[in-house]
């Protein structure tokens, strides 16, 4: 007799752990999918195997991490159901993740999908009407099972067919975490993350910065988003973007994100940050202003003038400019 298979959405939080474990306990083979984008989960990029092994060792859940960065960016440009309080497209985000999981399900012989959603836990995407929209628009009518709140919802196909025992599912609702924590204790799950927002699009400052960047650039890429997460940001002219590091590790990350056409800046005679200028048709005036901004954030900011090196290779900034550190009132005009 063949084993029934299901696919579960996995965030790494307690709800998604419990949802998968509840169905695994019914003898069903579950593959948990964690989709990562520059906005959430991207710290797992390039260490997927390590993370997958860690989750299996802790919870005995088979995990697969999948990047959908550029696809997510395209959705974010015009989400059909709009944005939340900041730049977060919560309903369309969930639709996209469930739809991607459905494709994986179909390609790998699974029968239904699982999420850790709980009615009323999140104000935008976990209202009952929003959850219904997610089912409909992801093409998952009848096959999207939410084990933690299933008894508050209409039975799904796997419940009707008695593939899943509905009596062993739950009726959680609302924002309280106590029922989940109690269930975790009963299941012997003690090592799990504390609840957290996780998505940078819900952050007022970062969300607004990303929103501005999207309004300026219709061809935005994953690299652009990763750069927005680092440093201090300035806009010196149309189609230009300046990022100045704040500490050593950030400087190294900025260097890694350098692309062809970008210009790096660093003060020569004093400790100071890396600055990266990206844009189209970068003129000499913009380059000189960038050099003065780099000087302002160096230990030479009190000098009448400092030398700034610039170029494409951080190890050989051979073009030197003698500039005055920019004045604070002028700098504020460019702050992004």
Residue ranges of domains in the chain, CATH in brackets: 5-186 (3.40.50.620), 230-334 (no CATH)
Which residues neighbour 21 within 8 Å (Cβ) at sequence distance 6 or greater? 59, 61, 187, 189
Residue 252 is given by DSSP the state H
- Range 227-252 burial, b when 16+ CB lie within 10 A, else e: bbbbbbbbbbbeebbbbbbeeeebbe
pLDDT of 238 reads 84
Q: Which residue has the higher pLDDT, 3 or 114?
A: 114
- Partners of residue 37 on adjacent β-strands: 40, 41
Q: How many residues does the chain have?
A: 336
Residue 113: exposure state from Cβ atoms within 10 A (0-12, 13-18, ≥19)? buried
Which phi and psi (to 5°) does residue 111 adopt? -110, -30
Contact 256, 275 (CB under 8 A): no
Q: pLDDT (tens digit, 9 = 90+) per residue, 39-88?
A: 999 999 999 999 999 999 999 999 999 999 999 999 999 999 999 989 99
C-alpha span between 235 and 281 (Å, rounded): 14
- Range 165-179 burial, b when 16+ CB lie within 10 A, else e: eeeebbebbeeebeb
C-alpha span between 40 and 69 (Å, rounded): 10
User: What mean pLDDT comes out for the span 166-192?
Assistant: 95
C-alpha span between 306 and 139 (Å, rounded): 61
pLDDT of 195 reads 67
pLDDT class of 281 with cuts at 50, 70, 90: confident
pLDDT of 218 above 90: no
pLDDT of 197 above 60: no
């Amino acid at each position: 007799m063949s084993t029934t298979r299901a696919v579960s959405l996995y965030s790494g939080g307690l709800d998604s752990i419990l949802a998968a474990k509840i169905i695994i306990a019914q003898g069903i083979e579950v593959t948990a999918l964690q989709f990562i984008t520059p906005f959430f989960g991207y710290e797992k990029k390039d260490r997927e195997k390590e993370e997958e092994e860690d989750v299996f060792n802790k919870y005995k859940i088979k995990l697969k991490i999948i990047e959908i960065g550029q696809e997510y960016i395209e959705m974010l440009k015009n989400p059909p159901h709009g944005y939340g309080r900041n730049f977060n497209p919560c309903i369309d985000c969930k639709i996209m993740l469930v739809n991607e999981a459905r494709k994986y399900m179909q390609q790998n012989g699974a029968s239904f999908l699982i999420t850790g959603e709980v009615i009323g836990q999140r104000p935008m995407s976990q209202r009952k009407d929003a959850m219904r929209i997610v089912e409909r628009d992801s093409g998952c009518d009848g096959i999207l099972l939410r084990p933690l709140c299933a008894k508050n919802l209409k039975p799904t196909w796997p419940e009707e067919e008695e593939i899943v025992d509905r009596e062993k599912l739950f009726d959680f609702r609302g924002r309280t975490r106590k029922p989940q924590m109690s269930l975790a204790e009963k299941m012997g799950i003690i090592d799990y993350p504390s609840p957290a927002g996780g998505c940078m699009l819900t952050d007022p400052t970062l969300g607004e910065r990303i929103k501005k960047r999207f309004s300026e650039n219709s061809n935005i890429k994953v690299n652009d988003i990763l750069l927005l997460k680092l440093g201090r940001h300035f806009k010196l002219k149309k189609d230009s973007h300046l990022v100045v590091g704040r500490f050593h590790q950030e400087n190294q990350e900025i260097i890694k994100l350098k692309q062809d056409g970008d210009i790096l800046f660093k003060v020569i005679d004093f400790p100071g940050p890396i600055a990266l200028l990206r844009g189209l048709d970068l003129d000499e005036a913009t380059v000189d202003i960038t050099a003065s901004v780099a000087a302002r954030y160096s230990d030479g900011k009190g000098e009448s003038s400092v030398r700034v090196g610039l170029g494409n290779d951080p190890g050989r900034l051979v073009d030197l400019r003698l500039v005055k550190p920019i004045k604070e009132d002028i700098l504020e005009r460019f702050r992004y």
